[in-house]
A and B are shown apart, each in its own frame.
Chain A
Amino acid sequence: MSNAAHHDQDDLRLLRESVRTLLERAGGVARARKIRDEDGGWDAPVMTELAKAGVFGAAVPEEAGGLGMGLAAAGIIAEEVGRVIAPEPVVASVGLAIGLLRRLCPAHALLTEALAGTTVLATAWQERDAKGLSDTLSSRFENGALTGTKSWVAGVAVASGILVLVEAGGGPALALVEPGGKGVSIDKRRQSDGSILAELHLSGAPAELLAEGPAVAKALEAAISDTTALTAAELVGVSAKALEITLDYIKTREQFDKPIGSFQVIQHRAADMHVMREVAEAGVRDALGLMDATETPRLRARQASRAKARACTTARKITREAIQLHGAVGYTDEFDIGLYLNRALVLSAWLGDDVYHRRLWLNARNAEEAAE
């Protein structure tokens, strides 16, 4: 490994340590439970502290006001967010809101505010049809106002602005609306982890047009790839911590006068969880590194799908096994392990599960091989 690579590794280690310390000091996983019980949302002060630690700008190029450390660094942050189930929308902000703004309107004041953690923006790009996720866009921007319905909008309940993907003049456009503004109605759907995904109904809502044309589609594709891969990293963090909690439990829980972790059947299941976690960590980090090394959208999308597919499979297996190895107490809300299961459910469904991403990955792989 070269000196430069060693240097990078040191930077990443320091970043990880500072984010971990910050999130633990803020209350660790207990904070996730508290905020869930208070009906969703997040801590504004933690948001600003995270911003000071460079969390929102880590993957943003230096010329756009960030640290220029790439997705590799954002992935490290996402892993830490996953470990404590931090309720702040770190990955959605970094990947979607900031990802879109820095590509489409880098001079806009919103970007500076988002990087500083003072403004939280939700992003509404998906729409629903009878079979689920729609392939077409039916929301419109006309005469300065938005009309249509957007689905699966995260963070909308507490965001100060919503970035909305719409059609304008025959092409895609990005517009900004205020959540409490005229013509905006929000239908909140509570998720298993206590967070909210909303259906956003827009009927002549006044909006600011931020960008339009093919650049919007391109920026959105890049932002979705980034967010997908970072969500995978967050799931790696969820899986890692769920496994640690389970290992601590089976080392101390006694039955038949012995810790249950001394039984071989339990040991082998724990070993399998460990191997899965290691493969997921290596695979997801590798994918993020490869995404940093290329600008080609198809290659980046393929790596993002690889990462999400692996992370979903791993998190599903580990969080379910974790409940089983906890026995009956694993089924209670009192034990933290359940928080990890519930978080994994939400993050797996968000942006596509493993079956969905294996399909995309194979299509991309075969398309690349056909092109060669």
Chain B
Amino acid sequence: MIDYNAMSDADFRRQVRQFFETEYPEELRNLSHRPKFAEIEHWHRKLHAKGWVAPAWPAEYGGMGLNAAKLLIFYEEQQRWGVVRGRDMGVQMVGPLIIKFGTDAQKAYWLPRILSCEDIWCQGYSEPGAGSDLANLRTNAVIDGDEFVINGQKIWTTMAHDSTHIFMLVRTDPKAPKKQQGISFILVPMDQPGVEVRTITTLAGETEFCEVFFNDARTPCENLVGELNKGWTMAKSLLSFERVFIGAPNLAQNALGQLETYARGAGRFDDPVFRDRFAEVALDVEDHAALYARFADQLKRGEPLGADVSMLKIWVTETFQKITELMIEAAGPDGGTLGPLQVGNAGVDVLAAFYKARPTTIYGGSNEIQRNILSKAVLGLPG
């Protein structure tokens, strides 16, 4: 077993970079859509054989066991080469939860299947009445013998139509005094009569989001992770790395690169107004990266992140949107045209970037929620 953390940062980066550059399939670089598993299975096999499916998991469970510093390098290289995140809900979300709160039997059964993608997971958190106010969720699970019986509806379930299992937050005690109490975390197979999946077509014309309906769906009681009615705190405890990652500079940096390619090809840099606005967003990206580095250093030193990490997400997602608006503006009369716009030797899909930027201010805690968090937890404003 390799101790990656013992390597120097530079050596580790070199090794990761080399693996991606030599092994990653060219046709999968910088995918603009979320792929189904079949489309990326050949890449997943290579990653699995290398033992690199789960960079953050401890080595004893088949992960790479990377510390925060090495993990950031791994993700940076992944983004640099345009490597797909894959179908990683199992690796990113349910795996860490099972590792932290699961029984030995659950670990032995589920973890290897996550790594091999024998099971492909989707996340059942949001509901029609529980978005920003997630604790308001109503989908319920009632114990019947040695099974949970589930009724209700989940929504915005990414890639549910290409998943074998769903991990969910469900209400198991409707009488609990606070709505955050009485929520449990359960694992549910999707291939059963009581589960129905419908895809949602987005503004971009894609179908990566789904609705999932539960009508007396069943799952064995042994698929409860952690204690009954303690799901809320467990799910929240996993979000710390997610919170800095969602504020990472890469989406805005990539869009800035696309904007520059397009604008150069289309001669927009001759226009002083465009130049100023380009400089403005480019500096928005550069100065955000300096702030991001401060939080990344904090993680690397093993310090916990405070509520102030919310500002990374606010700034980077709104900058991302500013950049894509500028792309549309630069495209002029082509600004409403779907698909790649040809400039010089390059093709830039202006509207794909624009659509990609839209949900970023909504998901992962909308930017309004992030501002609420900042005002109360960081600025100490009343009420």
Contacts and interface: CB of A to CB of B under 8 A. Distances in A.
Mutual binders A and B = yes
A250 B272 CA distance: 40
Interface stretch (B120-128, B159-167, B220-228, B284-292): B284-292
B375 A271 contact: yes
A274 B311 contact: yes
Contact of B287 (A261, A266, A270, A282): A282
Given A262-B383, A270-B375, A282-B291, A358 B279 contact: yes
B2 interface: no
Contact of A358 (B276, B308, B378): B276
Q: How many B residues touch the partner, as a band?
A: 35 or more
Contacts of B372: 264, 267-268
Given A262-B381, A279-B287, A282-B291, A359 B301 contact: no
A283 B381 contact: no
A1 B296 CA distance: 11
B239 interface: no
Contact of A275 (B269, B311, B383): B311
B48 interface: no
A309 B280 CA distance: 9
Contacts of A279: 284, 287-288, 290-291, 311, 315
A305 to B, nearest CB: 9
Contacts of B269: 366
A282 B294 contact: yes
A221 interface: no
B382 interface: yes
Interface in B277-327: 278-280, 282-284, 286-288, 290-291, 293-294, 297, 300-301, 308, 311, 314-315
Interface in B354-383: 368, 370-372, 374-376, 378-383
Interface in A235-292: 247, 250-251, 258-259, 261-264, 266-268, 270-272, 274-275, 278-280, 282-283, 285-286
Contacts of A329: none
B100 interface: no
B291 A283 contact: yes
Given A283-B290, A286-B287, A278 B308 contact: yes
Interface in A318-365: 355, 358-359, 361-362, 365
Interface residues of A, number: 35
A33 interface: no
Nearest to B275: A362
A283 B279 contact: no
Nearest to A6: B301
Q: Interface majority SS on A: helix, strand, loop or mixed?
A: helix
A140 interface: no
B287 A283 contact: yes
A280 B287 contact: yes
A282 B314 CA distance: 16
B175 to A, nearest CB: 31
A275 B311 CA distance: 6
A16 interface: no
A250 B382 CA distance: 9
A83 interface: no
A1 B297 contact: yes
B382 A259 contact: yes
A300 interface: no
B163 to A, nearest CB: 36
Contacts of B383: 258-259, 261-263
A310 interface: yes
Given A274-B378, A278-B308, A306 B286 contact: yes
Interface in A30-63: none
A140 B382 CA distance: 62
Contact of A359 (B276, B284, B290, B308): B276
Contact of A247 (B294, B368, B381): B381
Contacts of A309: 279, 283
B380 to A, nearest CB: 7
Contacts of A366: 269
A262 B372 CA distance: 11
A278 B288 CA distance: 9
Contacts of A262: 381-383
Interface string B245-278: 0000000000000000000000001001001101
A187 B76 CA distance: 57
Nearest to A262: B383
B284 to A, nearest CB: 8
Interface of A: 1, 247, 250-251, 258-259, 261-264, 266-268, 270-272, 274-275, 278-280, 282-283, 285-286, 306, 309-310, 355, 358-359, 361-362, 365-366
